[in-house]
Amino acid sequence: MSISAGRVALVTGASQGIGRACALELARAGATVALAARNLEKLGDVAAEIAAAGGKAHAFALDVSNEESIKECAKAVIAHFGAVHILVNNAGITRDILALRMKRKDWDDVLTTNLTGAFLMTQAVMSQMVKGRWGRIVNVTSVVGETGQAGQANYAASKAGLIGLTKSLARELASRTITVNAVAPGFIETAMTEVLTAEQKAMNAQFIPLGRVGTDVEVAHAVAFLASEEASYITGHTLDVNGGMFMG
Ligand X SMILES: NC(=O)c1ccc[n+]([C@@H]2O[C@H](COP(=O)([O-])OP(=O)(O)OC[C@H]3O[C@@H](n4cnc5c(N)ncnc54)[C@H](OP(=O)(O)O)[C@@H]3O)[C@@H](O)[C@H]2O)c1
Nearer to ligand X, 1 or 192 (CB): 192
* 237 is a site residue for ligand X (CB under 6 A): no
Task: Report the DSSP beta bridge partners of residue 140.
Answer: 183
Task: Report the DSSP beta bridge partners of residue 182.
Answer: 139, 238
Quickly list H helices, the chain: 17-29, 40-52, 67-81, 104-111, 117-132, 144-147, 153-173, 191-194, 198-206, 216-227
Whether 236 and 183 have beta carbons less than 8 Å apart is answered as no
Annotated binding site for NADP(+): 90, 155-159, 188
* 187 is a site residue for ligand X (CB under 6 A): yes
**Segment contacting ligand X (CB under 6 A): 75-83, 129-137, 183-191, 204-212?**
183-191
By rule CB under 6 A, what count of residues binds ligand X? 29
* 142 is a site residue for ligand X (CB under 6 A): yes
Q: Which residue among the candidates 81, 107, 155, 225 is catalytic per the annotation? A: 155
* 161 is a site residue for ligand X (CB under 6 A): no
Q: DSSP secondary-structure letter at 99?
A: G
**Segment contacting ligand X (CB under 6 A): 25-33, 61-69, 163-171, 224-232?**
61-69
Q: Which of 10, 35, 153, 188 binds ligand X (CB under 6 A)?
A: 188
Q: Which of 63, 72, 96, 229 binds ligand X (CB under 6 A)?
A: 63
**What is the residue-wise DSSP string for 161-220?**
HHHHHHHHHHHHHGGGTEEEEEEEE-SB-SHHHHTS-HHHHHHHHHT-TTSS-B-HHHHH
Which positions lie near ligand X, rule CB under 6 A? 12-13, 15-19, 37-39, 42, 62-65, 90-93, 113, 140, 142, 185, 187-188, 190-193
Residues forming the active site: 155
